[in-house]
Chain A
Amino acid sequence: MIDLLAVIAIGFAAGMAAGLLGIGGGALFVPALVLFLGLSQLEAQATSLLAIVPVAFVGALRQHSYGNLRPRDGLVMGALATAGAAGGVALANALPERALEISFAVLQFLVAAQLVRRAFASTEEEQTA
């Protein structure tokens, strides 16, 4: 029963993160499916993809109603990313896993720094405008 409540709470939190940040929620789905529902890592990752579909769909619909969606861009990105995934899988299999982890983390830090810089720069522009 506690496991079930934990899954519901984590599912809700993952949905909140998806709505706030535009991410799928898989970062929370996967550990919850492994730890509380007894799936293997591979099964959890696969099942997480299924759970993301309705979350992303409802989130996109809500954002559309708020006027925050560019449907054509979303479709193009989705189609390109789906095609690009095949190349990404091949590359990921050719590189050592640790190299992938470190290079991805470094990329995340650089992008985060850019976002912070941009966020403060845009505020300064608004204040001086």
Chain B
Amino acid sequence: MVPLLILWLGYGPREATGTSLAAMVIICGVAAGLQAAYGNVDVAKGVLIGIPAVGGVVAGTALQQRLPTRAIALCFAGFLVISGIALIA
């Protein structure tokens, strides 16, 4: 979503990441509910990894405000390349 918002809709990198997170609440909320109906969700382990991640996202968004927008876009591009290589390796 982030690159599409930047490249197609002209969002700045910070707006794109913020709006993407908001959309993800709905998408992952619905998907998690469906997976829970199949009995695939381990709530306790989700909480165990989710709580430190909430701390991380607060730190990450604060750090992001101090970075130049170009650095954010380049970090995202780097993330795409690494995960693309991991996908086909």
Contact = CB atoms under 8 A, between A and B. Distances in A.
Chain A residues touching B, majority SS: helix
Contacts of A15: 52-60
Contacts of A79: 26
B45 A23 contact: no
Interface residues of B, number: 72
A24 B24 contact: yes
Interface in B42-83: 42-43, 45-65, 67, 69-70, 72-81, 83
B87 A16 contact: no
Nearest to B74: A119
B61 to A, nearest CB: 4
A50 B57 contact: no
A118 B16 CA distance: 14
Given A11-B51, A20-B72, A112-B80, A71 B22 contact: yes
B64 A11 contact: no
A83 to B, nearest CB: 10
Interface in B6-50: 6-7, 11-12, 14-32, 35-36, 38, 40-43, 45-50
Contact of B45 (A22, A47, A70): A47
Contacts of B57: 15-16, 18-19, 25, 55-56, 58-59, 62
Contact of A23 (B7, B43, B79): B79
A43 B67 CA distance: 36
